[in-house]
Structure 1
Amino acid sequence: MEEKIDIIDSLISDWNRERPDLDSDAMHIVGRILILGKSLEKKANQSLGEFGIHYTDLDVLATLRRSGSPFELTPKELMQSVLITSGAMTALLDRLMALEHIYRSPDPTDGRIKKAGLTKKGIELIDKAIGFRFQEAQDSIAVLTKKEKDVLIPLLKKLLALHTA
């Protein structure tokens, strides 16, 4: 089977012509990971539109849901699982509160901290949306065999560990 030339092949070909002194091997992987990440996030955002939420909303709601009952975390605890800035977290929590998916309440051990917790409406939403999201993730990698997935998982984990340490 002949491989189709993609945008990464084209840009590497151009750089090899213009700057043959550069080692372009890594760009075969990094360039594709960057494009794939953007594409998967865009697809997730589009599909979550039917639930009236964005991917970052899902991330926060899912983090609260998987924390277990009473489904409450401090903003600092949320920040450890969600890849957004503290300013963006505040705006996101305000938006989710306005949508009545979460509530904010003072932490009984430290009144300066306001915990975020899932409302009944928020639990119902995340339980529907996360099932949909997991299926979408399955569909996104359906082209891979079980053996390919088993090889890819530890490789991606190894790269991620290097870049998130």
Structure 2
Amino acid sequence: MSEPDPIDERRAQWAKELPDVDTGGMDVLGRARRAVLASRPAIEGVFARHGLDTGEFDVVSTLLRSGPPYALRPTELFRSLMISSGGLTDRLNRLQKAGLISRPPSPEDRRSLLVQLTDEGRARAEAAFREDMAVETRLLEALSEDDEAALAALLRKLSASIAAGTENADTEG
């Protein structure tokens, strides 16, 4: 067994204070949260080195992975990013000012605009993504390939379960 960590310590404290409360969820969700929070500075540092914040990276990477011509309608972007249209507008204004996106008219509907990566935006998004994946690979070095695959499968299962539970709670309320 491995050394106790802060989650073990918290669970032990809760077991003394409120012994009737099941703190088992903390084993997984507490550790997942700690892992995410601990990884954020390294990942956000990558984006900063490329002149982006996390939200801006979300936009340019979404456009990049959409493939040529690296353009989406704003509604496609904000649905993909799960943010408000106002939040997206702020990001788009900053990215356009930085020369990383343009807003050409849509060929299907000249009254609407697309959001499209510029050549500079594409180069920066690709460079940031490559560096981000290298950092994330280093962060997972403690896991074997089998460990990583098993953890990914379990997290996929957990995410689906949580999403289904959330959807059920929304329809019941």
Q: TM-score, normalised by structure 1?
A: 0.90
Is 1:95–2:120 an aligned residue pair?
no
| 2:159 aligned counterpart, secondary structure | helix
- Residue in 2 that maps onto 1:44: 43
- Residue in 1 that maps onto 2:24: 25
Percentage of pairs with the same residue: 30
**Quick one: distance in 1 between partners of 2:20 and 2:154?**
28
- Residue in 2 that maps onto 1:7: 6
Q: CA deviation at 1:112?
A: 4.5
Q: Which runs of 5+ in 1 are unaligned?
A: none
| Structural RMSD (CA) | 1.7
Moved more, 123-132 or 35-44: 35-44
Q: CA deviation at 1:39?
A: 2.2
Q: Which runs of 5+ in 2 are unaligned?
A: 165-173
Q: CA deviation at 1:23?
A: 0.5
User: Which letter maps to 1:17?
Assistant: K
- Residue in 1 that maps onto 2:68: 69
Q: CA deviation at 1:151?
A: 0.9
- Residue in 1 that maps onto 2:168: none
Count of aligned pairs between the two proteins: 164
Alignment check: 8 A CA contact 1:104 1:116 kept: yes
**Quick one: distance in 2 between partners of 1:7 and 1:133?**
27
User: Which letter maps to 2:157?
Assistant: K
**Quick one: distance in 2 between partners of 1:163 and 1:103?**
37
**Quick one: distance in 1 between partners of 2:27 and 2:58?**
29
| 2:114 aligned counterpart, secondary structure | strand
1:94-143 deviations in Å (ceiling 9; x for gaps): 11111110011232323443211000110111121111111111111111
Alignment check: 8 A CA contact 2:42 2:135 kept: no
**Quick one: distance in 2 between partners of 1:66 and 1:89?**
18
Q: CA deviation at 1:18?
A: 0.5
- Residue in 2 that maps onto 1:130: 129
Q: CA deviation at 1:88?
A: 1.5
Alignment check: 8 A CA contact 1:41 1:55 kept: no
Q: CA deviation at 1:156?
A: 0.7
Alignment check: 8 A CA contact 1:106 1:114 kept: yes
**Quick one: distance in 2 between partners of 1:65 and 1:52?**
16
- Residue in 1 that maps onto 2:118: 119
More strand by share: 1
**Quick one: distance in 1 between partners of 2:113 and 2:154?**
39
